[in-house]
Structure 1
Amino acid sequence: MILPFFVYGTLRPGERNHDLFLRGRTLSEEPGRLPGATLYEGPGYPYAVEEPGGTVSGELVTALPEAYPGLLAELDRLEGYVPGGPRNLYERVVREVLREADGTAVRAWVYVAAPAIAAELRARGKPVEGGAWRGVR
């Protein structure tokens, strides 16, 4: 299934992994919001934790068709995601993301905190105020 990606941390423009993974490999990058999630600070990078009432800000990234398969594999490695893996840091899930420009809902891949990490963050984590990673370091 070819879908855009919703990025909210180190893959955002101006952050350390944007140029390494996304520069020259995208058709578009536009501001978006992920409803139903709260952004938490992590060790060097953020985690989106699914929970009612929150919103996470980021970018909706559409990959160039020829770059998509390789990019998907690289992002899975970067995010520590293996389908069904018991040690995943993140799970890659399909969620509705809202385009900032017009509020249109778009189905996109989102890396959210894996269940054990999400439970730990809910219990002891520090939410990122306003749900936007920029400036949190």
Structure 2
Amino acid sequence: MTCHVHSAFTGKCEDAEEERIVSVTAALPFFVYGTLRPGEVNHDLLLRGRTLAEEPALLPDAVLYAGPGYPYAVHAPGGTVTGDLVTAHPWAYDALLAELDRLEEYRPGDPHTLYERVERATVLRAAGGPPVRAWVYLAGPVVAARLRAHGEPIEGGDWRAGRR
């Protein structure tokens, strides 16, 4: 059996075929693509000193849209988003997860939630290894529908490059 996805947190092989929204907490790393990236304002406020690793990464099957000072990622087959894979210190994980959920206005089961926390496969660029499962905050259903209908995707899928 070939392993297609390795967990960055447990090191175990995981099935990459199924994508799903998960409301139970698994100790996964986070794929960040906007203000939580290293050097950005929310990274400095929430993540600095609480991470074990931060690696450049790509999120497949998603596109970015500009928001009011921050981006939204939306599921889109064939698209790619540039960001970073952030692994939290175990001692900081639970508090950090709760803080990120508050920041992203994630409300499980609410179709009007600003973002949904979704478990996805993230492809590492620098390591060049197999995909890793990670939490990513995607635009909530109502926001995603509005962006698909009226938004303009950020060319190249990199929020930093799109702001230059």
User: What is the TM-score when the length of structure 1 is the normalising length?
Assistant: 0.96
1:82 correspondence with 2:120: no
Amino acid at match of 1:77: R
**Aligned partners of 1:103 and 1:123: how far apart in 2?**
36
1:3 correspondence with 2:28: yes
1:27-81 residue CA offsets vs partner (Å, 9 max, x unmatched): 0000000000001101111000001111000000000000000000000000000
Q: 2:130 aligns with which of 104, 116, 123?
A: 104
Change (3 A) 1:23 1:84: same
1:124 correspondence with 2:146: no
Q: Where does residue 69 of structure 1 map in the other structure? A: 94
1:17 correspondence with 2:45: no
- When structure 1 is superposed on structure 2, of 22-31 and 76-85 the one drifting more is 76-85
Give 4+ residue runs of structure 1 displaced > 3 Å after superposition.
Answer: none
Q: Where does residue 15 of structure 2 map in the other structure? A: none
Q: Which structure has the larger Rg? A: 2
Query: SS where residue 106 of structure 2 aligns?
Result: coil
1:38 correspondence with 2:63: yes
Amino acid at match of 2:78: G
Q: Extract unaligned runs of 5+ from structure 2.
A: 1-25
Amino acid at match of 1:120: R
Amino acid at match of 1:127: P
**Aligned partners of 2:144 and 2:107: how far apart in 1?**
17
Q: Where does residue 47 of structure 1 map in the other structure? A: 72
Shift of 1:103: 4.4
Q: Where does residue 10 of structure 2 map in the other structure? A: none
Amino acid at match of 2:94: P
Check conservation: 2:111, 2:140, Cα contact below 8 A. Answer: no
Change (3 A) 1:127 1:34: same
What is the RMSD of the two structures over their aligned residues, measured on CA atoms?
Answer: 1.1
Query: SS where residue 14 of structure 1 aligns?
Result: coil
Q: Extract unaligned runs of 5+ from structure 1.
A: none
1:56 correspondence with 2:81: yes
Amino acid at match of 1:76: D
**Aligned partners of 2:103 and 2:149: how far apart in 1?**
25
User: What is the TM-score when the length of structure 2 is the normalising length?
Assistant: 0.81
